Amino acid sequence: MSILEQKNNQNQIKMKKQLLMCLLLTIFSVKGFTQSIHRFEAENYDSFNGVSIETNAALSGGKNIGSAKNGYWIKFNGIQFTELDTRFDVAAASRTQTGSPTVGSLAGTIEFRIDAVAGTLIGTANINATSTANWTTYQVVSAAITQTTGTHDLYLVFKPVAGNTYVGNVDYFEKITNTANATIYNLATNVSPASSGNITSSLAGNQFVGGTQITLTANPNFGYKFSRWVDGNGNPVSTTNPAVFTITSNLTYVAEFVAANTPAISYINSIDGLGIAGLTPTVYTEGTAVTLPIPTLTNYVFYGWSTSDTVPNTIKKIETTAIGNQVFYAFLGTVGNNQPIESPAPGFDSVFLALENKSWDNPNNFNPATLPIAGNIVSCKVEIETTANVFAGDLIFSGAGTLRLRGSHKATGILMFKEDTRIYYFTSGAGMTLDAPIIVSGNLKCEMISSIADKTVMTLNGPISGSGKITPLNIGQGSIVNTGVLLLKGDNSEFTGTWDLAQKSTKFLGVDYPTVIEGNVANAFGSGTINVDQGNSVVFSHERAAGAELKLNLAGNSKAVLNIVMNVQKLTINGVVFGIGTYNKTTHPEFFDGNGSIEVKADYNGGSGAVVPAFPGAEGHGKYVTGGRGGKLIYVTNLNDSGVGSLRDAINQTGPRIVAFKVSGTIILQSELGITDNITIAGQSAPGGGITLRGYNVKVRGNNVIIRYLRFRMGDENGVEDDALGGRFLKDIIIDHCSVSWSTDECASFYENKNFTMQWCIISESLTNSVHFKGSHGYGGIWGGLKASFHHNLLAHHSSRNPRLGEYGGRTIPLEGLLDIRNNVIYNWGYNSCYGGDAMNVNMVNNFWKPGPGTSNSTKERILSTGRNLDSTSPMFGIWGKLFIDGNYVNGSTRATQDNWTYGVYNQFHGSQLPVSEADKAAMKLNAPHNPGEITTHSATNAYDLVLENAGASLYRDAVDKRAVDDTRSGTATIMNGGNGSTNGYIDTPSAAGGWPDLPSEAAPDDTDGDGMPNAWETEKGLNPNNPIDGNLKTLDALYTNVEVYLNNIVKNITDNQNGTLAVTEFSNKSNLFYAYPTVGKNRITLKSIEDNDMVSIISAAGLVVKQVQVTSLETDITISDLSDGIYVIKSQKTGMTTRIIVK
């Protein structure tokens, strides 16, 4: 291959897949033959199903993929194949499991398929178990490529053998290609005499490029042993087995075997000296290694074979040097002491014995040999390891009972730790997480053993209770210094014991391994006493982390680090009770560090009771999220993807935190951005035109999250198939005034979340004909939730899912959630507007539906196309949703506006749902709403104006949002050529819409103390611009901290405009002929009716008539100050028409 050819080849690869780490190596033989190797880092897949990415600095690329379960796959787009491709080489590691109990046994296969998960199979790699103890012992295995040409998507599909959960981990794979000028040689193999053995090769096939290294292994059959290699003419070649050589000519290798002695093997039970029947082999061939069998003896676990009848051993095979008859004695018991398997003690349902391995999801490790279920009590006096499978039983640790963490894993049963038990991990990574209820009755050690630099974190999600002692200990691995952090993320209110930070590991003398306990949630430390010494520290990162009373003992140079303003009712340090007041590093530098303080108050009310909205204007079920309130202020100072000063770095820090911006512009992401727990991201703080995120998807992956005034415009430039913004299985989230577009799946999908709000957002221009593997896929979002609100949002220019109402496909409990959708504006849907809602509880109230130029005629009146699950095997089968649908306005359809159900719902069933009976219709329709949460509701027509005026990142509207709003107002589509065939406002690629807008930049205001509040503002408000602590004080407002007051004030005009402060909230505009709306004055409404002489009744939610009013004109002013807060129906006696109001 010429240098020019190499460069051209490399350029083609880069153009085809920018993110692919493709290593092009050229291997030259002595004769100039060439072969190219294209390396693909496994973690750089284009799309995937199920697998996880793991960090390992020792590997190629620094990462690998794991969690390779049955049917999971990774996909690489647009791989070029030629007839010269010969094989794949895969670097993989696997450990022993139930289906592959010994090193070398088959753990599973990796199938190489093209164009689909079930597409044409072009190669299979057999992955063997490489270790009994880890997933990091890598070997390279080969898979011959069935001749394939052209450009194809390549899928690696994982198939573990029966009994195994995982195939293993994959570092990389390589495609080996012969070059056009290579010389090919033939290799012939044979054995002599016939049937005396066989030959295995390191490479598949019998034709190879000159210069290729090959390994041949001669495997004798029983009764034979290897003698030598000869060529086709019988000339001696070698006596070494295996034979390793480089092929430079046509070759023949013949393995010669000779007859060998076959002595007997005897198996004896060391307990009684009697032979053990039924074991094979009973003879062996001298000179050939033989693996010994594993006996099964009732009530005993096998320890190992020994050649002595009194001394235990763990002999596993007969070596090649053995001669003559062999006698082996079986020793039993977990330590070879011939003791029977422990049976469950009284009060226990089973006992964990680690009979096969240490995994808590292997039934053979328990006696009896079944996996414990919820309610079972399990005794554990040995080491047990977590796995990805959730453990359901209660585990009682005693004696040498130890829990080894193997990742971020979960138990739903109680884990009780008695005296001298421990939890630990041993890793080269950043740490591990245990999500489980814990009771500590004795001394529990939590040991962190990591070789990572900086810090390693053991996270306990709790809750933790009990009166014992918890001793975190950072042990390290003796080389790289780090800090070990025990991070408490649960409500540990019931813990009354001791947090012991007075210990330090002595394993590696001369290497300092400090230990930290950090609490970043309410009641993280419970009522426990905290003892700190040896240079260790305790960190408080939540205003209620210590509960009502903090008992602290500090010795040596150890300190308490205050990241927030913490409120307690009683503070005791070293036995001294501190009075009411504020204490920090200024008042007591000998005790405290950090920029926070402790406020001792008599009016402490404990807990994390959510009584303060996330911010003024926060509404719906996510109204009371706290986010990063009280935590540290972190500035984003650059537009880099990562590193110091980046948004990613701010998000990846721990503890409550408020993220503000000193820059504006577009951040080009290099990978998915995951947003973690206890954070407020204040996009409104960015100067100039604000912040846009581009290039990759953003996922909310934590609880207690506030996101405001950001733009999420992913795009297709990296070939990523995902939502622009999404999250599921979380709680306490509010997303406000964000702009989301240019996704390659849905724009914004949130479901299976609890206490969630998405409000005042613009969700527009999902990419239609883009990179999604299904083809056309320009969708708005999937919306669902256990208590979720979506209100005052604009959805524009999506072909479908506007939105789709749905939950997780594996859900088994019907009608569990509560989804409230109100006052949204939906414009220019394509072939479908809103659909779904089967087996869900849903409100759809006062939304504004406006067809556009791309809207299909058959869906122009569609409010919801609902249905029920038609899979008879599903627990959700045949269950309709419980739907309250009212007050929705369908532009262009008076009948659908006046009768939402008949024309907007009942006329919209998919053909597969028909027929739908009248009983079915009655079953789905509710006459009263589900709980909407605390929310301001406008009429649909009023909401239309308010949403278009205020929604999205509207502090500065970029060209994308302006286009969505202007198109909605005018009923047109600005973009008529989407780039890949789409028209009528649907775009396929950002370049068709002008690409990412440039955002104006301004200098950030000076903030000397870095507390998130500009100097000038602090001075104006009487604060100190040189005091970094006063941002978390509440000197300006009784509800919000000072920095929150500043951030909220930035967008105060928008907040005031969008809702107002009327005491009555209009709830429904059932008919243009009879409706009510708030008057300018408080506590009054105006009722409009077609009847000027009527009696109207005001009816409570309980069905009681609480007030009657005589109507004498078409407009009547009614006082409602005598009504208590609640939902009321106003009903006309003459016409029977009704409307609804909320009084609050």
Q: Dihedrals φ, ψ of 937, to 5°?
A: -115, 130
- CB-based burial, 825-861: b 16+ in 10 Å, e otherwise: bbbbbbebbbbbbbbbbbbbbbbbbbbbebbeeebbb
- The span from the first CA to the last CA of the chain, in angstroms, equals 79
In angstroms, how far is CA 960 from the centroid of its own chain? Answer: 29
Evaluate whether 435 touches 458 at the Cβ level (below 8 Å): no
Q: Dihedrals φ, ψ of 62, to 5°?
A: 80, 0
Structure tokens belonging to residue 683: 């996009």
- Tell the residue number behind the tokens 């979960």, with chain if given: 410
Position 720 scores a pLDDT of 86
Evaluate whether 1094 touches 1133 at the Cβ level (below 8 Å): yes
Helix, strand or coil, per DSSP, at residue 1137: coil
Task: Measure the CA dihedral 1115/1117/1122/1124, to 10°.
Answer: 50
CA 367 vs CA 235, 356, 371, 623: distances in Å = 60, 12, 9, 49
Q: Which residues of the chain have pLDDT under 70?
A: 1-35, 57-58, 179-181, 603-610, 810, 1060-1073, 1078-1082, 1101-1103, 1144
Q: How far apart are CA 114 and CA 122, in angstroms?
A: 7
Position 1006 scores a pLDDT of 96
Evaluate whether 381 touches 421 at the Cβ level (below 8 Å): no
Output DSSP code: residue 824: -
Q: In sequence order, what are the beta bridge partners of 529?
A: 498, 551
Could you read off the pLDDT of 437-447 as tens digits, one per residue? 999 999 999 99
Helix, strand or coil, per DSSP, at residue 941: helix
Task: Measure the CA dihedral 1039/1041/1047/1049, to 10°.
Answer: 50
CA 534 vs CA 482, 486, 563: distances in Å = 15, 16, 21
Q: How far apart are CA 846 and CA 941, in angstroms?
A: 8
Q: For the CA atoms of the chain, what is the radius of gyration?
A: 35
Around Cβ 598, how many Cβ atoms within 10 Å? 28
Could you read off the pLDDT of 56-74 as tens digits, one per residue? 766 777 789 988 999 999 9
Q: Dihedrals φ, ψ of 266, to 5°?
A: -115, 140
Evaluate whether 304 touches 314 at the Cβ level (below 8 Å): yes
